[in-house]
Structure 1
Amino acid sequence: MAHEQVIAYTCQQVATFFPGMEAAALERVIATHWDTAMARLQRCIDQVKMWPQGQFNHLNSSQYCQYLYFLSNSIWREDRSEEGLGVVTRLFLLNKALNGIDLFYEIDLPEVFFIGHSVGIVLAKATYGSHLVLYQNSTVGKNHGVAPVLGDGVILYPNSAIVGRCRIGANTAVSQGTGVINRDTPGDCMVFAGTAGALAIKPSKRLLIADFFRL
C-alpha cells in the first residue's frame, strides 16, 4: 500500500472512532510527521527476525500497533500545539481500541522493540532499554509514583509484570505469570514465581533475545 493510502486509511479510522476534528487538519498533521514515524518503524521492523525486512504490513496487527505508537510519539515530540495534541490523543485511543494496548504517546519506548500480542499490555512512563519484548497482558507499572528501570533485552512473557522500584538487568526474561515488584534482577537471567511471594532467579543458558531480533 502506498504511503498516501496508509495515511488516508489511518485518518479514516481516527475519524470513524473519534470524530470531531477537521479532516484536513488531521491529515496535515499525520502527513507532516509520517516520514519520521515510518523511518523509525521500518528500522524496528527490520530488526525483528520473523518480519521481512523493508516491508510494512498494515494488516499485521503487531506492526500496526507499533506504527500507531511511533506515529503518535513522533508527532508529540515535534508538535505540542492544540491541533497536534488532538491528533496524538486520538492515535493513542485508536491503538487502545484496535489493539487493546495502553501505550501513551509520551512514553519513550526504545527504537527497537517487539510486541508479540498486544492485548492487555499496559505500560507506564518508565525507563525502557533497547530490544524490549512484550507479550499479552504484560505490565510495567509504578508503585507509589516510582517506576522501574529496564535494561536492554528484557522479555516480558504473557501475564507478567514489573512494578515499582525495580532495576531489571540486561537480558532478563520474566516468565509467564510472574510479577517482579520492588525487586532488582542481576541480568542474564530468567525470573520465575517462587514460593510465598519470593522470586526464583536462574542464570540464562543462552541469549534469549536472539530468538526475536537480528542482532
Structure 2
Amino acid sequence: MTKLVHLTHAELLHYLVRQLEHFFPDGLDPDAREVLRPHMDPALARLGHCIDAVRMWKPGEFDHLHSSQYTIFLYYLANTVWKATGNRRLCAKLFGLNKALNGIDLFYEIEMPPVFFIGHSVGIVFAKATYGNHLVIYQNSTVGKNHGVGPVLGDGVVMYPGTAIIGGCQVGDGTVLSQGVSLINTDTPGHCTVYAGQGGAVVCKPSRRDVLADIFRL
C-alpha cells in the first residue's frame, strides 16, 4: 500500500472532494465522495506502481503536494472510475480539475501505460493514441491526431520540451525526441534520437546514452 506523506486516505478523499466542489460548484454530484471512495485504493495502487519506478521519487510514498505525482493520480483516478462506473460527468470534472491545476489535457478515456513520467505538466496534450510503457514527456509537448489517425508510441519513448508526435506515426521503442522536434506522419526506427533537419525534415541518429536509465528503475 502506498503511504501518503501528509494525509490519511480519508483526508485525501475529503481534500479532493473539496477541490471538485470549489472548481465545479454546480451541485450536480452531491454523492461524489461515495462514488469516489471505492476507487481511491485501486487508483493509488496504480500510482504507487508508477512512483516506485521513477528514480527521483521515493518508493512507496505519494505526496499530494508534488504536482507531477498529483497529476498522474488524478488521471489514474478518473480512468479507474470511468472503467468501473461509466460516470462521465464526474470523470469530466476530474479531468477538468487536472487541467485547471496542472495545465495538462489528459482525457480519462485514454489508456496510459502502467509506468510513465511527466517532467512538468504545463502545456502537455495527449490525444487518444497508443502509448508504450516507460513513456517520458515534458512541458509543452503534444501527442495528436491528423485526420482522425493517431500515432503509435513504442516502449521507452522520450519527448523533451516542445516536441510533438502527430498523425500516423509508428514511433519505435527507445525513440528520443530532442527539444522542439515534431514528427508528423513520420515513423522512427527506434533506439534513436530525433533531431531537426533542413527544410522541416527530421534526422534519426543512434542514441549515445540511455536516457531511460536516468529516469526509471528498470
Indicate whether the TM-score tops 0.5: yes
**Is 1:139 aligned to 2:142, yes or no?**
yes
Question: 2: CA distance between counterparts of 1:158 and 1:44?
Answer: 21
User: Aligned match of 1:61 in 58, 61, 67?
Assistant: 67
| Aligned equivalent of 1:42 | 48
Partners of 1:27 and 1:110 lie apart in 2 by 27
Deviations 1:158-184 (A, max 9, x none): 000000010000000111100000000
Amino acid at match of 2:66: N
The gaps in structure 1 that reach 5 residues or longer are none
Instruction: Please report how far the alpha carbon of residue 17 of structure 1 lies from its aligned counterpart in structure 2 after TM superposition.
Output: 0.3
Q: Can you list the C-alpha shifts for 1:53-88, whole angstroms capped at 9, x where unaligned?
A: 0100000000000000000000001101xxx22211
State the SS of the aligned residue for 1:136. coil
**1:177 maps onto 2:180 in alignment:** yes
Equivalent in 97, 101, 105 of residue 94 of structure 1: 97
Alignment of 1:154-165 (within 5 A): 154-165=157-168
TM-score under structure 1 normalisation? 0.97
Q: What is the aligned counterpart of 2:112 among 109, 113, 130?
A: 109
Partner amino acid, structure 2, of 1:48 = V
What is the aligned length? 212
Q: How far off is 1:207 after superposition?
A: 2.1
Which residue, out of 31, 35, 43, partners 1:25? 31
1:208 is the counterpart of 2:208: no
Task: Measure, in 2, the Cα distance between the counterparts of 1:164 and 1:24.
Answer: 40
Unpaired segments ≥5 residues, structure 2: 1-6
Is contact 2:29-2:90 (8 Å) kept? no
Q: Structure 1 CA distance, aligned partners of 2:177 and 2:16?
A: 34
Show the counterpart of 2:123.
Answer: 120
Residues of 2 paired with 1:113 and 1:169: CA distance? 16
RMSD: 0.9
CA distance in 1 between partners of 2:37 and 2:27 (Å): 15
Give, in angstroms, the shift of residue 23 of structure 1.
5.9
> What is the CA-CA distance between 1:29 and the residue it aligns to?
1.3
Of 13, 16, 34, the match for 1:10: 16
Q: Matched residues, percent identical?
A: 57
Deviation at 1:30, TM superposition (A): 1.2
2: CA distance, partners of 1:152 / 1:21: 42
